[in-house]
Amino acid sequence: MAQPSQEHIEALKAQLRGRLLQPDDSGYDEARRIWNAMIDRRPPLIVQAAGAADVIAAVNFARDHGVLLSIRGGGHNIGGLAICEDGMVLDLSQMKSVRIDPHAQRGYVEPGATLRDFDHEAQAFGLATPLGINSTTGVAGLTLGGGFGWLSRKFGTTVDNLVSAQVVTADGKLVRASADENADLFWALRGGGGNFGVVTMFEFRLHPVGPEIYGGLIVYPLEQAAAVLPAYRELFKSMPDELTVWVVLRQAPPLPFLPPETHGKPVAALAICYIGPPDKGPELVEPLRKLGTPYGEHLGPMPLTAWQQAFDPLLTPGARNYWKSHNFAGLDDGLITMLIEQIGKLPSPQCEVFIGAMGGQTNRVAPDATAYASRDANFIMNLHGRWDAPADDDKCISWAREVFRAAAPFALGSVYVNFLTQEETDRIGAAYGPNYDRLVEVKRRYDPGNLFRHNHNINPAA
């Protein structure tokens, strides 16, 4: 990076309400640590912003001194784009405020908040918006990439529920982006990632959901998956928007409702979330219980906050992670056969295949209404390569790449940008599809110098 003098660094520090950390400072190593343990970078500067004024100061400093800038929200991105090696990290993780207006059904969320932070506040009023499946995920990164979760079939993607954003642009100005103000910027933020500025506040539309939902897991032996998954595929076609059922293929974790002898065996699990009246849940879920003879099940009414944290134990920070992803219109027989075969030879007990069910409201929005364009995806598959020892890197990464290649003939060709690894620069166009050229034009207007480039970058010179 360009090397600003210590005098300039001290001048920046004097402008901040938050902290500026350098490698010898207390707390530096903790500040550079993120969810994916494969990312081990040592940025010369970390600004832990306390508010919008600190963000403006950091953006101006990076621009004026030619310093590479990366932006950290929750630090959950698989590619580790929150941390740069030779530049300055603008760390927003201390900006965690969540304010709920229950009468207007609006949520005002700072960029360091996690899904758990948001749920804690919103569910106090029985309100929610579609946000992911892992409570340690950052709201900011999830939203800027499009965002989807258990509520998306009913209420759309996360960005379909974004009402406005406060954004610090590359020229150091704080602007409001909404349907009525800076509408082109607002369009681009809804799926275009962190390419256009630093969001310091998100305003979301909220919906009455919970505090209790009906859901849980049905865990089938993998040997039954060849019958279970096609039957699930047929049931999916008639499911109400309030019902979301994802597929998880992996080795059975030691869940208390599973017999001990099944722990570690390959399974096909159905993860179920019904956000309608909980007393109607059993009737809707009954056909899913009859697809085979499960190893076990755990179903019933539960708090939405508990279900939002149900997969946290499988996605804890500190492991090594490598993902590959595809979008699908449907689950072809050939795809199912291949996945069953691959689950039989997992390189690590933590590796798994998640198939998120979309459809519903996510498909009723025009592809050009937001930067997120994948409105024809009914299923989003994420191959979770996950392990602990660096010595297992090659075999686990190779497994994810092999399954990815084998699945490609069945895929739409598009991809969810939040599931891209840092190496997949050739797939950025696929992530944005027909919206890419328009995104380039917005980038040229708001960040012509490409200050915000340590991301899945939309190059203004494209």
Question: Same structural domain for residues 438 and 318?
Answer: no
Q: Are residues 304 and 197 in the same domain?
A: no
CA distance 412 to 226: 22
Q: What is residue 1's predicted lDDT score, i.e. its pLDDT?
A: 58
For residue 363, give the CATH number of its domain: 3.40.462.20
Whether residue 284 is found in the same domain as residue 163: no
Whether 396 is in a domain gets the answer yes
203 and 139 inside one domain: yes
Residue 423 burial (CB < 10 Å; 0-12/13-18/19+)?
A: exposed
In a shared domain, residues 254 and 365: yes
Residue 459 lies in a domain: no
Residues 346 and 228 in one domain: yes
Is 330:247 a contact under the CB 8 Å cutoff?
Answer: no
CATH of the domain at 140: 3.30.465.10
Quote the CA–CA distance of 459 and 462 in Å, as a whole number: 5
Mark whether 413 and 271 lie in a shared domain.
yes
| 62 and 190 fall within a common domain | no
199-208 exposure pattern, b = at least 16 Cβ within 10 A, e = fewer: bbbbbbbbbe
Write b or e for each residue in 445-459: b if 16 or more Cβ atoms lie within 10 A of its Cβ, otherwise e: ebbeeebbbbbbbbe
Where residue 82 falls (left for φ over 0; alpha for ψ -120 to 50; beta otherwise) is alpha
Residue that is last in its domain, among 54, 74, 91: 91
Q: For residue 277, is it within any domain?
A: yes
Same domain, 250 and 143: no
∠ CA 344-346-352, nearest 5°, is 100
pLDDT of residue 423: 87
- Six token digits for residue 163: 């009402």
Regarding whether 123 and 197 lie in a shared domain, the answer is: yes
Q: How far apart are CA 412 and CA 330, in angstroms?
A: 9
Q: Which domain holds residue 30?
A: 6-91
The verdict on residue 458 lying in a domain is: no
Q: What is the CATH number of the domain that holds 40?
A: 3.30.43.10
Identity of the residue numbered 382: N
Tell me what pLDDT residue 462 has. 79
SS3 label, residue 172: coil
- Residue 132's beta-bridge partner residues? 149
As for how many domains the chain has, the answer is: 3
Give the model confidence (pLDDT) of 20-65 as tens digits: 999 999 999 999 999 999 999 999 999 999 999 999 999 999 999 9
What type of residue sits at position 98?
V
- Strand arrangement of the beta sheet that strand 69-72 belongs to: 19-21, 45-48, 88-91, 69-72
**Does residue 77 lie within any of the structural domains?**
yes
* Same-domain check for residues 232 and 357: yes
Sheet holding 266-274, edge to edge: 296-303, 212-221, 266-274, 243-251, 352-357, 379-387, 320-328
* The token pair that represents 248 in the structure block: 């998880």
Backbone dihedral angles phi then psi of residue 433, each to the nearest 5 degrees: 50, -130
- The answer to whether residue 171 is domain-embedded is yes
- The strand ranges marked E within 132-185 are 162-168, 174-178
Q: Closest by alpha carbon to 69, among 88, 53, 54, 52? A: 88
Q: Tell me the three state secondary structure of residue 159.
A: helix
Query: Residue 189: inside a domain, yes or no?
Result: yes
Q: Give the model's pLDDT for residue 278.
A: 96
Distance CA 348, CA 394 (A): 12
pLDDT along the chain (462 residues), means of 10: 86 97 96 95 97 98 97 92 96 98 98 97 98 94 97 98 98 98 98 97 97 97 98 97 98 96 97 97 97 97 96 92 97 98 95 97 98 97 96 97 97 95 89 96 98 96 84
Closest CA to 219 of 289, 129, 135, 149: 289
Place of tokens 């020892």: 389
Cα 21 to Cα 93: distance, rounded to the nearest angstrom: 14
∠ at Cα 56 (51, 61), nearest 5°?
Answer: 130
Last residue within a domain, chosen from 60, 91, 122? 91
CA distances from 286 to 223, 310, 335 (A): 21, 21, 26
Which residues are CB-contacts of 282 (< 8 A; sequence separation ≥ 6)?
Answer: 214, 299
| Residues 269 and 350 reside in one and the same domain | yes
CA–CA distance, 60 with 142 (Å, rounded to integer): 25
Let me know if residue 460 belongs to a domain: no
